[in-house]
Chain A
Amino acid sequence: MTCRIGRWLCVGLIGAGGLAVGAAQTPPSWTDDLAPITARDWTYERAAHLIERAGFGTTSDEIARLARMTPQQVVDRLVDYEAIDNPAAKPFEESGIWDPGMDPFPPSRADAVRIARERGAALGVQVLPAGSPRRLQPVVDKFFYGLRSNSIETQRLGVWWATRMLLTTRPLEEKLTFFWHGHFATGDVKVRDYRMMLRQNEMLRARVSGDLRALLVGILQDPAMLVYLDNGENVKKHPNENFGRELLELFTMGVGYYTERDVREAARAFTGWTNDVLTFKFDREQHDFGEKTFIGRTGPLDGTDIVDAVLAQPATADFVAAKLYRFFVRETLSPAVKTELGNGFRSSGYRMKPLLKRIFLSKDFYSAPSVATQIKSPVTLVLSTYKKLGLRELPTIPDFGRLTAGLGQLLFDPPNVAGWAGGRTWITPATLLQRGNVFRDVLFPDPAMFRAPDRLMPATYARVGENLKKGMNITEATKEGTGDAESNMMADRDEDYNTRYASYRGYLMAFERTRPIPRRAAGIDLASLVAAAHVTTVDAAVDLFIRRFLSVRPAENDRVVLVDFLRGTLGSSELKPGDKLEPALRELLYLVLSMPEYQLG
């Protein structure tokens, strides 16, 4: 190992900036070459690249351990992960927010009110007797409780998944689940039911290493997806094309390989595919059993026939293999590589594992255009930082969801059905600054300033509580301020209920009924980290951080800036134990994590 470290440092000191670590030794002929690399080609840097892409990165010690194995062994272990015990696979602990009568949850408050008026009850809650003031209030309270508590459960679900991503012993399992979450994009903002989101997440995880057919059937019968793409409204009399269209355009073939007629016929085949809250339901009454013609097949086709017809098209194999390639390797791939990967995928019966192994072992995967050229997604950026810090718990101060959402990505909330666009779209001047800024909150957490988003009420509703405490009645307490923008949003009120009060009540009930997200700052100990590496000088500390955190070698000028900064902060070229050391190292790390180079993995 020492020779590798030595060589790396040597190149780092004299080389030009911007080169991928290890790129200098990679022959240009590796680009687009899908032949496997050999054990002789296996290095620390390539192991680091593999675990960064196939997982969320890891510590130097772990990379060194992988580097001592053969590439074949490492890839087999990554891909055939089922055999690995995974203590991080803990079930999501539900708060239990869903009460009898809340299913199916009305799509809007207006609907809840309409149902309550018609039936005298809604959401499992009776309206008050005639003549009572605000007789629908309990129903509207319950409606807002449902929205708020579900939103909090979805936040908790995000923390649960991020924790699993951080601690899993099967990194590829989580990375694949994350990939397919973006591919089969489904958002809780529309689904409004964390239980469906959880079930979808578990279904994906269970099928991501199998074959594409099972995965497609799984997602097409998945309640969250059925709700998200409005397939409940896809009925015999009025087929809704949304579902069929996304299947062809976004999930399998891509535009250009089917006609508008195919979309309509696919829609007909999926009529009656709906959900009974949390389970798939085939509604015979709404299904069109008539004859359909879809990409050359004719007959009384149903949804699974469409899946089989789609899988018979080479375009599907090419499309899906190319998307996996773009996620794991790089944005652009040559037509030849696309066809070669697609052919292999299709002839294997759309099995994921041979495709993934082929990609991860290919020379192309380790070629210069593939290494240290990928802009990390916000979730990957934050998690891989935690991984490289060797954290054994997910920090929740700052809040994980808020952190990544501020950078443009929130688990269980992709921006639209096409998923996250990724790549350069993550980067705006403002997000690039934020991508550094967020790590100040991680490295210098301030629990006194921290407001837990799962216990936060917007100011408008908090004021209702303050006003009630002053002894105002509900009408007075919910009166709008003068010219306050927030007041514009909620002017609608009704003598049968008070919306703003219901919103306030909904928050309180949700806070009471949901488990709080446990809050803790990151347990970071950089002084121990440098001590364990036997680093005693500022120069060596900078090199250690560069090596541990960056995939791209910074320019020598930048390295000097870092060294000067640490020396200036410590007032010495030596690292001496003491109170100054840890904060100085954290400042240094903040600089490293704020560099443009750090955005690349």
Chain B
Amino acid sequence: MTCGCSRRDFLAHGLYGIGVGAALPMFLSRTSAALTAQALQGTSVEKHPERILVVVELSGGNDGLNTVVPHGDPAYYRARPHLGIPEREVIKVTEGFGFHPSMVGFERLYKDGQMAVVHGCGYDHPSFSHFSSMSYWHTGVPNGGETLGWLGRLADDHYNPATRNVIVNIGLSQSLAVRSGRHSPLVFDDPVRFRREGTDAEKRALGAMSEAASASNPALDFLVATARNAAASSDFVRQASAAYRTPVDYGIGNAFGGGLQRVAALIAANMPTRVYYVVYQGNSFDTHVQQADLHSRLLMYTADAVRAFMQDIARIGRGDDVAVMMFTEFGRRVEENGSLGTDHGTATPMFLFGKHVTGGFFGKAPSLTDLDDGNLKMTNDFRRVYATVIKEWLGYDDTAAVLKGRFEPLGIFA
């Protein structure tokens, strides 16, 4: 273990210690001091303070049946006469199931035993609206009006709000999934633009003000703390991102791979972040029309980027500390439509990646013949996967409080 798993080792290795310019000593000392204080007071009950969860969202509703292909089931080919992936092309990984041929990156992860596939994830009374269904996955409360995200609630329940940047969300706007009651997720898209604008004199003046302490106004305390965080983190993020160099090929330059690369840069710089959230944006997976080529490319970019990320993380010595969970808001209908595409559906596989993942398939695949109005009947509530990462990966036994209900973990992490 080059990177120790105890808080003491972690601190000894130096938070933010790698690849950071000289402009950061204030921030470093302050953050380290805060964490040290927290450790000394024994406020932390974390079993695995070094572990990081990276959540990847594929927006638009990924076609699960053409991602994890049930090539052993004639019903698949009956429903998909034009779009079905021919059996000879499928990357076969287990009895009856295989990956889309463009997902070479996943094949490697799977064979290395670092990839778990959970069949048939969904929820009762599924919504066919991107928008509603995505908000259900974000909040972890389907058909509810929960205003905080499940990762936000996770942070609220388990991470000290005094610790900055527990959640980092790469994106233009904050995902509902990370919306938190007590934490201020660090949300940025382009690290270059994550900065205070203005003349040097203006920035100097604002810098001289940011330490202002308030009296008896908690909202102002929160703002001042966030402002300090912004001032410190934006420099850090910009410098960490600018300083980061990797020989790993994340694939063709698309925004998704770029997002994962930004995460790798921050992990390499020892950002104390526990949850990263990255989105394959723009409803990209909404493949209603002529989907074959498009979907093939989407899967290739996704698999390339995730595989590269895992490789990159291993390269910087954090392979034991990072797990990735990947989801989409729904799968597609079993039967292809008249436009050589697929329409909004229900259950779809979820994916977990990491060195501590027990590779293989979990759960029961939904039947392709016993359908609900043409749609798969889900076999795993997606919150069981959430419970799995909360309990088995991050080490918090009480998953019911975060998930607002009891969901049995799946036994995926060793």
Cβ of B67 within 8 Å of any chain A Cβ, yes or no, is no
A-B pairs with CB below 8 Å: how many? 209
Cβ of A385 within 8 Å of any chain B Cβ, yes or no, is no
User: A461 to nearest B CB, angstroms?
Assistant: 15
Question: What 3 A-B pairs come out closest when comparing CB atoms?
Answer: A18-B214, A429-B230, A492-B290
What would be 19 A-B contacts, judged by CB atoms less than 8 Å apart?
Answer: A18-B213, A19-B217, A408-B174, A417-B145, A418-B146, A427-B223, A429-B234, A432-B227, A432-B230, A436-B206, A440-B197, A485-B252, A488-B298, A491-B297, A494-B289, A494-B339, A499-B289, A596-B226, A600-B217
Q: A110-B337, A431-B187, A485-B252 are in contact. Are A600 and B145 (CB under 8 A)?
A: no
Binary per-residue interface labels of chain B (268-293) against chain A in the complex, 1 for a CB within 8 Å, 0 otherwise: 00000000000000101001111101
Instruction: Give the distance in Å from the alpha carbon of A375 to the alpha carbon of B219 in the complex.
Output: 7
B186 touches A373 (CB 8 A): no
Instruction: Give the distance in Å from the alpha carbon of A46 to the alpha carbon of B405 in the complex.
Output: 45
Instruction: Give the distance in Å from the alpha carbon of A564 to the alpha carbon of B199 in the complex.
Output: 15
User: A233 to nearest B CB, angstroms?
Assistant: 9
Specify the chain A residue showing the minimal Cβ separation from B188: A430
B220 touches A596 (CB 8 A): yes
Cβ of B1 within 8 Å of any chain A Cβ, yes or no, is no
A190 touches B217 (CB 8 A): no
Instruction: Give the distance in Å from the alpha carbon of A591 to the alpha carbon of B223 in the complex.
Output: 15
Return chain B residues, CB-CB under 8 Å to A557.
208-209, 212
Partner of B184, one of A20, A246, A428: A428
Interface set, chain B 113-135, CB cutoff 8 A to A = 125, 127, 129, 131-132, 135
Interface set, chain B 176-215, CB cutoff 8 A to A = 176, 179-181, 184-188, 194-199, 201-202, 205-206, 208-210, 212-215
A591 touches B205 (CB 8 A): yes
Return chain B residues, CB-CB under 8 Å to A117.
338
Specify the chain B residue showing the minimal Cβ separation from A251: B145
Specify the chain B residue showing the minimal Cβ separation from A245: B143
A430 touches B187 (CB 8 A): yes
| Residues of B in contact, count (CB < 8 Å) | 76
Specify the chain A residue showing the minimal Cβ separation from B146: A418
Known: A18-B220, A18-B221, A427-B226. 16 other contacts (CB 8 A): A18-B212, A20-B217, A230-B129, A242-B132, A372-B220, A375-B219, A428-B174, A428-B187, A432-B226, A436-B206, A485-B253, A492-B291, A555-B213, A564-B205, A595-B209, A600-B223
Name A's B-contacting residues (CB within 8 A): 16-20, 108-110, 113-114, 117, 187, 189-190, 230, 241-242, 245-246, 249-250, 255, 368, 372-375, 408, 415-418, 421, 424-425, 427-433, 436-437, 440, 483, 485, 488-489, 491-494, 499, 552, 554-555, 557-558, 561-562, 564-565, 568-569, 587, 590-591, 594-597, 599-600
Return chain A residues, CB-CB under 8 Å to B294.
488, 491-492
Instruction: Give the distance in Å from the alpha carbon of A600 to the alpha carbon of B226 in the complex.
Output: 14
Return chain A residues, CB-CB under 8 Å to B180.
425
Q: A427-B223, A492-B341, A590-B198 are in contact. Are A483 and B145 (CB under 8 A)?
A: no
Return chain B residues, CB-CB under 8 Å to A492.
287, 289-291, 294, 341
Return chain B residues, CB-CB under 8 Å to A565.
201-202, 205
A483 touches B253 (CB 8 A): yes
Cβ of B254 within 8 Å of any chain A Cβ, yes or no, is yes
Specify the chain B residue showing the minimal Cβ separation from A374: B219
Instruction: Give the distance in Å from the alpha carbon of A250 to the alpha carbon of B135 in the complex.
Output: 14
Interface set, chain B 293-343, CB cutoff 8 A to A = 293-294, 297-298, 301, 337-339, 341, 343
Cβ of B255 within 8 Å of any chain A Cβ, yes or no, is yes
B288 touches A110 (CB 8 A): yes
Instruction: Give the distance in Å from the alpha carbon of A449 to the alpha carbon of B197 in the complex.
Output: 16
Return chain B residues, CB-CB under 8 Å to A18.
212-217, 220-221
Partner of B255, one of A19, A485, A596, A597: A485
Return chain A residues, CB-CB under 8 Å to B125.
241
User: B253 to nearest A CB, angstroms?
Assistant: 6
